[in-house]
């Protein structure tokens, strides 16, 4: 099996190591000769995302493409021979989380992708539709972003952060584990970064909703920024 991981950042490099795959940095010239067995896409979504993936597919002629990136709903189906398998992990523990957290795979060839990923020690769950995993990843980000937004709403209401935290700790002691709330200590009046709010913006791009507008109100980009601004993280 010959695997190639494109995008060697905080996610791509641990994935490459687990799969014992070759790696390609986006800023490096293409030096690999095709064909390869599996192409792994692990770089952030952007306006030229589909064009770049298709170029790599042409250059390396993979028999299977696995898109690990967070993408708008409907993206993977536009790519030939591709499945979607989003990342669920913490940046500082990515290798451990790739091995521990179930790796969802969506698409007609999900079972084939499962075999590839399990060679790297990952545990997979499959579904036949890539739109399912695309949507669930965006919803996952939106749920956590909503909790962050509510924490900042508490600040607007004049409630000290330590009181909100203590309240939620008390709440968590009286409910079953699956109903516990995340304990969030806001680090400012807005939510930054290039992952969390970008996911909310991508979801709103496809499915506009007042709830998503309310979350994006707390973005450091402002509620009316185009989705590309969230992806740049500036």
- Domain boundaries in the chain? 3-128, 133-232
Query: Mean pLDDT in the chain?
Result: 91
Q: What percent of the chain has pLDDT over 70?
A: 94
Contacts of 143 (CB under 8 A, 6+ apart): none
- In sequence order, the β-bridge partners of residue 82 are 65
Reported pTM: 0.92
Give the residue carrying structure tokens 């905080």: 10
User: Rounded mean pLDDT of 129-154?
Assistant: 95
What is d(CA 24, CA 5) in angstroms, rounded to the nearest whole number?
6
CATH class of the domain at 3-128 = alpha beta
Which is higher by pLDDT, 75 or 188? 75
Q: Answer yes or no: is pLDDT of 196 > 70.
A: yes
Q: What percent of the chain has pLDDT over 90?
A: 74
Question: Residue 233 — very low, low, confident or very high, per pLDDT cuts 50/70/90?
Answer: very low
* CA distances in angstroms from 84 to 22, 32, 96, 111, 206, listed in the order given: 20, 23, 21, 12, 17
What is d(CA 163, CA 153) in angstroms, rounded to the nearest whole number?
13
Question: Residue 188 — very low, low, confident or very high, per pLDDT cuts 50/70/90?
Answer: confident
């Amino acid at each position: 099996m010959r695997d190639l991981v494109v995008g060697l950042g905080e996610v791509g490099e641990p994935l490459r190591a687990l799969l014992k795959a070759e790696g390609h940095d986006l800023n490096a010239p293409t030096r690999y000769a095709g064909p390869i067995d599996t192409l792994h896409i692990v770089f952030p979504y952007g306006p030229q995302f589909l064009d770049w993936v298709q170029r790599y597919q042409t250059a390396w002629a993979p028999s299977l493409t696995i898109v690990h990136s967070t993408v708008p709903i409907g993206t993977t189906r536009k790519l030939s021979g591709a499945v979607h398998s989003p990342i669920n992990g913490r940046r500082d523990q990515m290798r451990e989380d790739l091995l521990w957290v179930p790796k969802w795979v969506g698409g007609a060839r999900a079972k084939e992708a499962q075999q590839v990923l399990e060679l790297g020690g990952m545990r997979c769950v499959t579904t036949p539709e890539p739109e399912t995993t695309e949507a669930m990843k965006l919803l996952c980000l939106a749920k956590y972003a909503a909790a962050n937004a509510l924490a900042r709403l508490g600040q607007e209401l004049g409630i000290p952060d330590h009181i909100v935290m203590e309240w939620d700790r008390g709440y968590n002691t009286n409910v079953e584990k699956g109903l516990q709330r995340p304990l969030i200590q806001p680090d400012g009046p807005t939510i930054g970064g290039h992952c969390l709010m970008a996911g909310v913006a991508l979801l709103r791009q496809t499915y506009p909703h007042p709830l998503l507008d309310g979350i994006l109100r707390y973005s450091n980009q402002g509620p009316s920024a185009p989705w590309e601004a969230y992806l740049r993280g500036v």
